[in-house]
Structure 1
């Protein structure tokens, strides 16, 4: 359903009546009860955070296949119950809450001009967490909204979607030998092995890929990240915090050495908070965190956290912003 269709729906009162065309005939329902039923419809799915579903009354026999007849300025339109739910949310939910409402809709094989406009203007109309584009042979999924807004030594103030592929794009080494000298920015991954990912991402999203400023490690002493600097950043490996919401193997303060995290990626990406099963997807891929003088962190395909020698070849599943 097009956004322009349901934007034409007249202002509703809770006493307004809707017609529902279901398996057992056409029934009428109050707008207030319809709203509760629509939310209850997806209560068993990875749907919405912060809603107490026990307080909502579900309408019996309402399914995603039922059709709702809605009067609009250009005539009556029939839409699916699931589309109606997200139409209501798209019209009324604040843009900040879109990062907590999982939908997982296929947005197409190309970004439309309307989609581009709604990213750039910061309304994010037509987008919810987990929505994705199928471009080429890859699934490019929305994992957060405005995650890096106002971050950087130069403030990043462009409205943006944060995108990751569902699976690694290919496998590569962090370094040719088991060293972490120079930290993440000193690695072969950063200098060379991300280039293929940048090419694939540029092919899919073109000029929509944004460059921002990111704080990254550039030195390691005794296995600890010991220095960092601000770099122009477009496509990077994620870190442990972005994936798990906390540090796991990255060295911590031991009472003598105070460790700087060298990152603006300081909170878990929204998709992995709302739908944690999508962290690994049974795939193994590198993270940019230095663990020791020989190890970098990675996400284990079995669902665990882990680390390994820098010379091993694991997946490259990068993160980037479009806008």
Structure 2
């Protein structure tokens, strides 16, 4: 703007007049006329999806209630701000984002055909970390997505959710006596006591529980895991790493022995990283599959701390499994 133009604008302002650009060039308009025009625009039913001045008090009430007014084909709808955010994210969010954004929404009383299709195609549309199904009086929660993807001696290439119940399904022993012979695979838990969990899980997610390849401990020497092999795996006890993100009492390097942790489940499940309050349910100590000594297996304490216990103790069985 040239100095002479600037002086003209100052003169207009002093006279309470505005300079507006329009399709037919620049026009001057009195400030009160502009104000009336703006008020008329605000009062229009076509302004901001149908909000006019008489509705502003209603809008204020929505804001104080943490709700948004959204225009739809059926008219304006008031929805929770959180729901609006997740609805927007659901249109484009990749699995990498979905598995770290906790929502905690009830997804129904059964895995639907639409939900199963969204898992299979890898979009996971309509699902976020912490969402759950309420089936058979239990909460079955999404704890991760594509956790085992491309893992195993045979690559697991099925898109999948990782599900766990919020609470242990029942109590059972790892072994009838305080021994860890044969590791997890050699235990009574693996051979017999998981059978009831498999029945419960397969009833809740009929035809949707997947099988992948997992490396599991099958030998113990001097109180330490000493051997392992690849097994078909569907419904298992979780490990310390899956719950806590690292080993507490299982095999670790002592400077002389290089340990094998016997698992492809090598990272913490996303839910327990984002929301560690879900690690324990306070009502049960829960068995983990890691060998601690010749007599003890690892566990999650009912008080929320890490722990271990004699294999003959009857503790919570809280399985983990892939669904797709």
**Normalising to structure 2: TM-score of the pair?**
0.81
Unaligned runs of 5+ in 1: 1-15, 28-59
Show the counterpart of 1:242: 242
- Kindly tell me: are residues 242 and 20 of structure 1, through their superposed partners in 2, closer, same or farther at Cα, counting changes over 3 Å? farther
Show the counterpart of 1:86: 86
Question: 2 CA distance for matches of 1:123 and 1:23?
Answer: 39
Aligned partners of 2:144 and 2:269 also within 8 Å? yes
- Kindly tell me: are residues 18 and 249 of structure 1, through their superposed partners in 2, closer, same or farther at Cα, counting changes over 3 Å? farther
Show the counterpart of 1:229: 229
Aligned partners of 2:185 and 2:216 also within 8 Å? yes
Shift of 1:104: 0.3
- Kindly tell me: are residues 137 and 225 of structure 1, through their superposed partners in 2, closer, same or farther at Cα, counting changes over 3 Å? same
1:284 aligns with 2:317: no
Aligned partners of 1:185 and 1:218 also within 8 Å? yes
How large is the RMSD of aligned CA atoms in angstroms?
2.1
- Kindly tell me: are residues 244 and 18 of structure 1, through their superposed partners in 2, closer, same or farther at Cα, counting changes over 3 Å? farther
Aligned partners of 1:68 and 1:84 also within 8 Å? no
Task: Considering fraction of residues, name the structure with more helix.
Answer: 2
Shift of 1:23: 9.7
Shift of 1:206: 1.2
Question: 1 CA distance for matches of 2:64 and 2:222?
Answer: 62
Mapping 1:1-323, distance limit 5 Å? 17=48, 24-26=57-59, 61-64=63-66, 66-71=67-72, 74-76=73-75, 78-80=77-79, 81-282=81-282, 283-323=284-324
Aligned partners of 2:251 and 2:260 also within 8 Å? no
Instruction: Choose 82-91 or 288-297, whichever is displaced more.
Output: 82-91
Shift of 1:18: 5.8
Question: 2 CA distance for matches of 1:241 and 1:235?
Answer: 17
- Kindly tell me: are residues 20 and 281 of structure 1, through their superposed partners in 2, closer, same or farther at Cα, counting changes over 3 Å? farther
Shift of 1:63: 3.3
Aligned partners of 2:120 and 2:158 also within 8 Å? yes
Q: How many pairs were matched up?
A: 274
Secondary structure at 2:59 match in 1: strand
Aligned partners of 2:160 and 2:322 also within 8 Å? yes
Shift of 1:218: 0.3
